[in-house]
Every structure is written in C-alpha cells, then in structure tokens.
Amino acid sequence: MTEPVAERDLLDAAIDVLRARLPPAWTVERISLGGDPIAKDLLIKAVQPGATQTVFVEAKERVSARDVQLLMGGPWRRWRKQMGNQPILLVSRYISPGVRQRLIDEGVSYLDLTGNVRMVLDYPGVFVSTEGAQQDPASGKAGRRGLGGAKAGAVVRVLVDTQPPYNGGEVARAAGVNEGYASRILETLVEEGFVERERFGPVTAVDWPRLIRRRAQDVDLLRGPGVFSLIARRGAQALLDELASKKLEPSPTITGSFAAARLAPVAPPALLVAYTSTPRQLGEDLELLPAEAGADVLLIKPADQSVLRGSAFEEGLRWAAPSQVAIDCLAGRGRMPVEGEAVISWMQREQSHWRYPSLATLMLRDRSGPAGHGG
C-alpha cells in the first residue's frame, strides 16, 4: 500500500510550514494514529518535558465547504468522540476564505500552501495565524475572482432574497444573466461555503448574512462614474422631506443610512444616498451643491436595475430592499458599516418580512411592481 503522491507532498509541505512558524527548539514529526500503516498525522513536541500534542491531520488537494460538512459528519466526528478535544488540522493546496471561516467555527485548524495558517493547541500552548492568498492561485476561470460587477450583484440579490430550493437555470433567469455565468458564480459560492448545493442538483441553503458581507467587499459605493457627491442647502433630512412632498416620477430609491434607520436605527443618519436614472438632472432640480468633500448627499445612477429590485413605496418615498440597504451600508464610510450590520441583525429576526418563499413569488413581485417588502 503506497501513499498518494499529492497527499504525501501536502504533508511534507505542511511540516515545513509548521517548523518555520514554531519555536526553533520544537519538533514536528509524522506519526500514525489508530493503527494506520501510513504515518499521516503529526506529533508536535515542545522543549518542556512531556509537552507534546498529537494532531489528527486531514490532507486534501482541494477542499470545499461541502467537504468540511462531510468531514464533520464522518471522520472528524468519530475522532472527537473517541479522543475528546484532540486537535484536528486540515491541510490543502489552497483554502478559500469561506471555508477557513467555517473551519474556525468548527474549531478545526487549517494550513494551506499559500500561507493561510491557523493552528490552535492547548498543550503545548500554540496559536499560529498567518494570511496567504485570498484567491486560488491555480484558478484562472472567468467569474471566479470575486463578486464585483452588476451581474454578480444580480445573482447575489436573488440568492439572498429568495429561499431555496432552486437550480442554476432558475437563478440565471431570475437574475437576468446567462446560465453559464450563474453556474460559475454558484460554483465559487459553493466552494467558499456561502451556498450549499446538491451535486449537479438544486441549491438547498444560502448563508445569506455572510454572502451580503462578501458582496459588499467588492462594492465601492462612494466612487464611480455614476456617483455624484453633493451638499443639500438645508441638510439631508430636509432634503428627504422635500423628496417625499415632491412625489417625483420616476422616484429616486433611497438606500444607505436613511433606509437603514427605518429598519434598525443606530444613530441619526447623516448621509442621504439615492439611486436615480438622472443624478445630474435631479441634483440641479433640487439645487444641490457639488462637493469635493463633506458631502451629505450621494446620487447614484445604477449600473443595473437589480439594485432596485424589491423596492417599496411608502410615505411618499421609494425605499431599497433590506438586502440592498445592508450591502450599500457595509460598502459605505464612517458608521455606515455598523448600520449595515444592524440591518442584517434585523433581517435575521424578521425574515418573513423581506425574504421571498420561492423564485416564483419573487418574479410575481417583479411583475406587480414596488409595494411593501417581500414575504
């Protein structure tokens, strides 16, 4: 019986990485646990007499969130049942940010060959944490480099706003993108642990709070060719009241701090953010002043209509959907990210008020036009 080359190389590389990061007098040795003829686990020894720790090691060339789920329900569960709180280390060529967070949540250490390392031992006391690549160096596939852009945003909004199950083709149609693009986005999200999907089957679960945060990382709310930074002569709140009384058509869609304050107030909002197809003209009609700094109004021409999906017309104003408000706040400045987290907390408590029970309900809501929140 011979050990697969890929696994042997991964273990050898892991030992080299650990030796470089642990104190010089410490040692890392390969051992065999449970009578396995192949020495594929580790023994770490400190300089103090008797200060040793055995580590159960899982080496996989590629690893996804689905793999972690299966391991937690299989070999890792058995190991913990037999050995108690003995540490587990996952070793791979590359481990994505989503998978790393899932491993942290499960109390599992990890190490990849790009330098992402987190190892926690009780005795000897060890905490090693370093960052490596945030994207898979071996992946050159289009559409797997992030969640920036209007098309990715449309897919994210569908996944966040709608309860599964649904398949890739249905997501593509709801988001208005081609199936190949939606499939690549879903593949990335499955690998990073944001989405659970049966093999070649439907999406069964979406970690929508983390997906909102992930999307926000690739959004720059404050910059872009369609963003106009302005100052309201009588302040942002007075401008909002004016917009409600004017009943403009088409009505701008309010997002950001003022929209967040309706759902989960943190502090009096200061920056008024609105999507409009005519930001320059609207700014002139409202007699707003251009601002190089100190703006209290942002008018944004949306790159895609998906940011307006699920908007609600209430009290004379059109308000962005909660998921879009959360994304925009997290992508903002100052206290806006705190406001975004408050919106996510509200969304977790009130899913029936905003999340659609099916894609059919979402599509029906699109045809009927803005009203109250989905649910």
Q: DSSP letters along 65-114, please?
A: HHHHHHHHHTHHHHHHHHHSS--EEEEES---HHHHHHHHHTT-EEEETT
Residues in the chain: 375
For residues 42 and 51, is the Cβ–Cβ distance under 8 A? no
* CATH number of the domain encompassing residue 201: 1.10.10.10
Where among 82, 102, 130 does a domain terminate?
130
- Looking at residue 3, what is its pLDDT? 46
Residues 237 and 186 in one domain: no
The answer to whether residue 320 is domain-embedded is: yes
Judge whether 138 lies within some domain: no
Same domain, 61 and 126: yes
- Mean pLDDT in runs of 10 for the chain (375 residues)? 60 85 83 68 74 82 82 83 81 88 90 90 84 76 65 96 95 95 90 81 92 92 88 96 88 97 95 95 94 92 93 94 97 94 97 95 83 44
Note whether residue 199 is domain-resident: yes
Give the residue numbers spanning the domain of 53: 5-130
Is 257 part of a structural domain of the chain? yes
As for how many domains the chain has, the answer is 3
Give the CA count within 13 Å in the CB-facing half-sphere of 361. Answer: 15
Task: Specify whether 361 is located in the same domain as 231.
Answer: yes
Cα→Cα distances 215→73, 210, 212, 220, Å = 29, 9, 5, 10
In a domain, residue 102? The reply is yes
Tokens of 207: 């970690």
Structure confidence at residue 374 (pLDDT)? 39
211 and 231 assigned to the same domain:
no
Q: What's the confidence (pLDDT) of residue 83?
A: 75
Separation of alpha carbons 170 and 364, rounded Å: 14
Both 210 and 235 in a single domain?
no
Residue 141 falls within a domain, yes or no? no
Task: Retrieve residue 200's tokens.
Answer: 């070649």
What is the per-residue burial (b if ≥16 Cβ within 10 Å, else e) of 158-187? bbbbbbbebbbebbbbbbbbeeebbbbbbb
Q: Which residues are CB-contacts of 320 (< 8 A; sequence separation ≥ 6)?
A: 253, 254, 255, 259, 275, 307, 308, 310, 311, 328
For residues 266 and 357, state if they share a domain. Answer: yes
Question: 112 and 203, same structural domain?
Answer: no
One-letter amino acid at 258 equals F
Per-residue pLDDT tens for 61-119?
A: 888 877 888 888 888 888 788 777 778 889 998 998 888 888 998 889 999 988 899 98
d(CA 244, CA 230): 19
Residue 40 lies in a domain: yes
Whether residues 54 and 169 fall in one domain: no
Give 266-277 pLDDT, tens digit per residue. Answer: 999 999 999 999
Both 155 and 94 in one domain: the answer is no
Predicted pLDDT of residue 344: 97
State if pTM tops 0.85: no
Site of tokens 């909102």: 212
Q: Are 109 and 170 part of one and the same domain?
A: no
Secondary-structure breakdown of the chain: helix, strand, coil percentages, each rounded to the nearest 5: 40, 20, 40
Q: Is residue 137 part of a domain?
A: no
- Residue 191 and residue 114 share a domain: no
**Given this model, what pLDDT does residue 102 score?**
86
Counts for the chain of helices (H) and strands (E), in that order: 15, 16
Amino acid 370: pLDDT = 64
- Identify whether residues 203 and 239 lie together within a single domain: no
Q: Which residue in this structure is represented by tokens 């789920």?
A: 69
pLDDT at 285: 93
CATH of the domain at 109: 3.40.1350
Q: Dihedral, CA atoms, 291, 292, 293, 295, nearest 10 degrees?
A: 30
